[in-house]
Chain A
Amino acid sequence: MSAVIATSKLSKWYGNVLGLSDVTISIEPGITGLLGPNGAGKSTFFNLLTGQLKPSIGSLTIFGEPVRNNSRAFRRIGLCPEQDAFYEELSGWEFLTNLLRLQGYGPSEVAAKAEKALGIVELLADKGRVVRSYSHGMRQRLKFAQAIAHDPQVVILDEPLNGLDPLGKRKLIRLIKDFGREGRTVLVSSHVLPEIEALTADIVLLHHGKILAVGGIQNIRDLIDTHPHIIAVRSSAPRALAAHFVGEEYVLNVHFENSRDSVLFETTNRDRFFERLTRYAAEPAAAVEEVTSPDDNLQAVFDYLVGT
């Protein structure tokens, strides 16, 4: 299968600041996750992909054509930017139809495509409301609608799940997956690993403007599993909780937090730890109130990969 998006030694500097460095990559149809902490270069990469920035060095093609100043390429791309980009005083319908007109469709086609896109994102009932009155989730879905309304082959979604509640996330994840299943090329960025995990198994890891890793998400999970995890458990009986685990060989460290009734466990086997914790929490005297994983995020993986 040939690459839809291909970059070669793609680099971008903002003055002395490095935005993206030496990125050579091929992206095929389906969903690809672009992962990286804030400032990793994800948005720069997307801005280069959509022709809004000129590469300092290197080349970039979509369907074999350069993107910048190429209106033919833009007809096949849909962009959902990270930031809100709405005219608050327009209705969702007006916002979408105005953007569709820029694609060159006639009035009847504009109406049909807007209707279809709003239907997909379940906003038809609210199409007449001004964007100002939309909830955050509705705004995200409207942004997604404008990215897919003109039926693009390549969809670029910059942090589309940011700030959504769990239900909103689930809805949008389903929409993105549906779109990917249709054989289109969907590129999704996020700094939250589980979000990407819910969408795709193919990821590109960016860090400090460079590609850190490319591959299946399982590889990344493996990295997490071979690296000690920190799990915080809050309980009204923290010492009893600690005593319960201290004898386990997969628990490397136990640390009491003074300010809260929390115990920090460092473990090499998260699955076994949780299995044991679940059984313990079911006991009447356990009093487990909250379980969090402070390092179960992308930053921790990056820290591990870059050796910090």
Chain B
Amino acid sequence: MPIAERGYIHWDGELLERRRPWLPITRQGIRLAFKRKYFKFSFFVSLVPAFGFLVGIYAAEKIQDFKLKIEGVSTILQVNPGFFRAYFAGDFLLFMMLMLMVLSGAGLIADELRHNALQLYFARPLTKKDYFMGKAAILVFFLSLVTVVPGLVFIICKLIFSGSFRFLADYPWIGLSVIGFSALVTAFFSFYTLMISSVSKNRRYTAILLFTIYIFSDVLFGIFYASFRNPYFALLSIKANLQQVGAAFFNVKAPYAVSWIYSLAVLLTLCAVSAFILHKRVKGVEVIK
């Protein structure tokens, strides 16, 4: 190219270094989720069990004050590891977590694919890792509000309402179990949701897929279990696997006669497969071969 003299004006832009480049993605995602009225409704419904269990803790400690003499209530309202497992691995909370994922997570990557937005992200100082962290942090935020936060609040309330540290002396590991199981459930749902969200440009399709796979895996388990009475079919069900691992984390009897290690392996394998699919699907430029 012939060299032509041109005036050169010194660039006065700034080279900024940031420690958390994913944060704007997270903030934007949380803000957009709360703009959806169905999500807001689901989010508040998913907090209902936490309030119910909180009332349960209070009632368990103050049951003598109320002079409640209802048959059996004292055994139901025993705040022990089983109480925590009932909250964390209960059907309702797992279902509500799924609904939160469907309403807040189905479009996280699908919308970017639909809007060709990935190339704009990746033409900026943002790595793929930052992008995934930003998206996953949205889901982690919502899931934490219905898992680890209520779990720790339960422990604190139990100590306050009982007026002693005996509960912690009896179960010193309960805090770690709450944090550990919350982390596992959150990680699993985040990987699962992001992976499904990346397989299509259509948010509705990914929402249906998220819901269907979860429900279908449980239905499949039900059918096989009813036919063969073999508990190992529980490994087919996402919900059953989460409940098995939940029971192990809270040191209570597992609902199915299968080692929780297998269930954990299934969940971790699903996370690994999701990570692989995500890595393959999320590219700045769609290359059609």
Contact = CB atoms under 8 A, between A and B. Distances in A.
A236 interface: no
Interface of B (DSSP majority class): loop
Interface string A118-140: 00000000000000000000000
A218 to B, nearest CB: 11
B1 A215 contact: yes
Interface in A64-81: 69, 71-72, 74-79, 81
A59 interface: no
Given A17-B289, A51-B122, A85-B120, A1 B8 contact: yes
B24 A102 contact: yes
A167 to B, nearest CB: 26
A52 B119 contact: yes
Interface centre among A79, A84, A102 (most CB of B within 10 A): A102
Contacts of A75: 13, 15-16, 125
Interface string B1-16: 1111111111111111
Interface in A40-99: 47, 50-53, 69, 71-72, 74-79, 81, 83-88, 98-99
Interface stretch (B79-87, B243-251, B279-287): B279-287
B52 to A, nearest CB: 36
A32 B3 CA distance: 12
Interface residues of B, number: 42
A183 B6 contact: yes
B287 A86 contact: no
Contacts, number: 128
Interface in A149-205: 150-153, 181-184, 202, 204
A205 B3 CA distance: 17
Contacts of B1: 25-28, 32, 202, 204, 214-215
Interface centre among A87, A105, A182 (most CB of B within 10 A): A87
Contacts of B14: 151
B120 A81 contact: yes
Given A52-B285, A69-B127, A1 B3 contact: yes
A14 B289 CA distance: 6
Contacts of B18: 104
A101 interface: yes
- Contact-size category for A: 35 or more
B126 interface: yes
A194 B11 CA distance: 30
B9 A183 contact: yes
Interface centre among A15, A152, A183, A202 (most CB of B within 10 A): A183
Contacts of B289: 14-15, 17
Given A47-B285, A52-B284, A88-B115, A76 B13 contact: yes
A216 interface: yes
A182 B9 contact: yes
Contacts of A98: 24, 28
A305 to B, nearest CB: 17
B3 A28 contact: yes
Contact of A202 (B4, B15, B111, B115): B4
Contacts of A79: 119-120, 123
A75 B124 CA distance: 6
Interface of A: 1, 14-15, 17, 25-30, 32, 47, 50-53, 69, 71-72, 74-79, 81, 83-88, 98-99, 101-105, 146, 150-153, 181-184, 202, 204, 214-216
